[in-house]
Structure 1
Amino acid sequence: MSVILHIHDQSLPPVSSSGGSNRLIDWLAVEQAKKGHKVYVMTPIGSDTEFYQHITLSLPCTFEGLLALIPHDVEYIEHHGGVDGAVFEDVLARYPGSIQVCHAGKHEGKNNVFISKSHAKIQGGKVIAFNGIPVEDYIFRENKDNYLLFLAKVKRSKKGVDTAIKVAKKVNLPLIVAGGRRFANPETWFNWHPLIKPVGYINGADKFDLISKAKALLVPIRWEEPFGLTIVESMLSGTPVIAFNRGAMSELIIDGETGFLCDNENDMIEAIKKLDQISPKRCRDHAIQYFTVAKMCKRHLELLAQAEECSW
């Protein structure tokens, strides 16, 4: 079995305020360990778990400083962010079986792995590995409650909470807003509108329950989203997704089968009227077919082996 090191600039294991990339790396590292591989993680903050050993990394770092921290038995390195590009070029020379996982933003250098075809295209890359989530963590429900759900970092205007609120009001359906507050939208601060219920940040069992009971997840994004974990989480829970057709949405959602791809607010309103056409089981089956942590792990192991043979 292999010995793998994950390098990241944020906490591992994740803390309550951690974003999607932290959870993904943790899921991946745990799955690799379950498959029999020895796993290290190197981050500025973190701790050992039953699945991997943590190494404290001070950033920024030199190649010599980084090299002194890398255990002697490491064979493969997955860099998820934090190390300077020039430093990682030296890492690649020393550890050819290394990849750079591009979770978002711009990336240069060799052995870049992108999380969707659309993200790779924007960055001029070709190699992709879809994200995956642990199936057993999520609740599947066929019978839904009568509310829509918005689940994203509300303060980011590109996530489109204002559009979700407008749509919910126009179709006269309750909307639960999860993911913090946004000053420009008072509905996200105070529970004063009869249709809009802000719940702040949610995680764990509360989130799984909320997703599984929702009539649909609304994703009115205003940017080229590289992936979108909540889309997969929703489908795995049997909840259809109604999203603006940008970024990776068309790679995640089968239009008319696991949700709807929309171009504007009116399309989203019309899609809500057709939700009874979507099978919760079809949503879950699609997520399991393409977006599980087991599939993500398999793909990453393939890419590490390929990188060792020849860089790209």
Structure 2
Amino acid sequence: MRIAQVAPLYERVPPRLYGGTERVVYALTEELVRRGHDVTLFATADSITSARLAPMAEAGIRLAGIKEPLPLHVAMLEEVYAQADQFDIIHSHVDVLGFPFARASAVPTVSTMHGRLDLPEYRRVLSRFSEQRLVSISHSQRKPVRDLPLNWVGTVYNGIRLEHFPFRDEPEDPPYLVFLGRISPEKGPIEAVKVARAVGLPLKVAAKIDPADADWADEHFLPILEGGGVEFLGEVDEPTKAALLGGALATLFPIQWPEPFGIVMTESLACGTPVIALRGGSVEEVLVDGVTGFICDSLEEMAEAVSQVERIDRRACRAHVEAKFSAAAMTDGYEAIYERVLATEVAARPALTILPQQQGGAADRVVPLAAKQDLVMPKVEEQAVPVGE
């Protein structure tokens, strides 16, 4: 199968430091190539891939300090669809930006929605592009727009490359807790500090501070570090992240928003480290309460869970990720979607009719019936049991 993977340009593939979507694109692309597919990756020029790389920016926008990301993404999409006839299917990971291009193309596009959908702006744009073939990364992600007649073609959980997150059967001694991700109010770093201090354990924080969150971090997060017991490491690369997660007694995940997936949870579990999380978003789809960690309804419950976390079987945490959140499991899901979309495309093509020869010896002409149907994207029916579930 000839597949175009269209990555965001904010980070290289895979990211040097922070970056969830680009890391997912990397895992999927590498597994598709391993399975024999002809894959072209549209990404930054410094990306590392086994696929054919189509460089669309010199480097990741965020670390390169590029101030205007939109023009580069629009230029990339124009290039992708200029080459559309070279692919059987285009897989977009750039949110709603690709919708107008996909609508105008005869080559089918599948768009994975990687972010939150509970903002009113999304309702407006999704309702105007209701024919677009969408993939969710959790069932909970769909809830804010479940009343809209959208063309969901499946749910595929994000997968990680297990070899990047070695299993550890015991945490380090003395024990510590860890928080990874982004310093922003919705991720709950202040709540993580409160839990760690409540139980008297040190907390290691490995997280980036985006410019958009810098003022909030200066006012609310950085001052609480003065109370001690918290080691703020900033952004870390993947090997450092794996070492931090694997050595921790538990990973704290006190989200304050409807997290669409939360890949940190799967990375932690892959290392064998249980996750203690607040209920919300995809948490109940990723964690098994009492088996791979604890799902709590308050910070007090999270603190209590820390005292119970040693009874969690770290091997069960690893096995859970191997079964549901590996790169292989994710690719199984996307392969099934690609095949179903292409099968539906073939079935929806208009019939052909042969017109008799015209006077004067004109050759037979092949004319499609209802030619305007070519402008209508066929709706792909989602299977009763969506892939990735």
Q: What TM-score do you get using the length of structure 2 for normalisation?
A: 0.73
* Equivalent in 104, 116, 125 of residue 115 of structure 2: 104
Shift of 1:12: 4.2
1:52/1:258 CA distance change after superposition, 3 Å: same
Residue 101 of structure 2 corresponds to residue 67 of structure 1? no
2: CA distance, partners of 1:64 / 1:167: 48
Please name the residue that 1:199 is paired with.
233
**Cα distance, 1:177 vs structure 2:** 0.8
1:120 aligns with 2:134: no
Identity of aligned residues (%): 27
Matches within 5 A, 1:240-259: 240-259=274-293
Superposed CA offset, 1:271-298 (max 9, x none): 1111122110111111111100001011
Q: Give the structure with higher Rg (CA).
A: 2
Q: Deviations over 1:248-285 (max 9, x none)?
A: 00000000110000111111011111112211011111
- Structure 2 CA distance, aligned partners of 1:113 and 1:20? 16
Report what 1:213 is aligned to: 247
Q: CA RMSD in A?
A: 2.1
The offset of 1:73, in angstroms, is 3.2
Match of 1:291 in 2: 325
- Quickly say closer, same or farther: Cα 1:225–1:50, change in 2 above 3 A: closer
Deviation at 1:129, TM superposition (A): 0.5
* Alpha-carbon distance between aligned partners in 1 of 2:206 and 2:53, rounded to the nearest angstrom: 31
Q: Which amino acid letter does the alignment assign opposite residue 91 of structure 2?
A: E
Shift of 1:49: 4.4
Number of positions where the alignment pairs a residue of Structure 1 with one of Structure 2: 303
Counterpart of 2:104 in 1: which secondary structure?
helix
Give, in whole Å, the separation in 2 of the partners of 1:62 and 1:153. 27
Amino acid at match of 2:88: E
Cα distance 1:163–1:309, how it changes in 2: closer, same or farther (>3 A)?
A: same
CA shift, 1:52, in A, is 1.1
Name the structure 2 match of 1:129. 156
**Residue of structure 2 equivalent to 1:239:** 273
Q: Distance in 2 between matches of 1:19 and 1:48?
A: 13
TM-score, normalised to structure 1, is 0.90
Is the contact between residue 77 and residue 99 of structure 1 (CA under 8 Å) also seen in structure 2?
A: yes
Q: Which runs of 5+ in 1 are unaligned?
A: none
In 1, are the aligned partners of 2:18 and 2:237 still within 8 Å (CA)? Answer: no
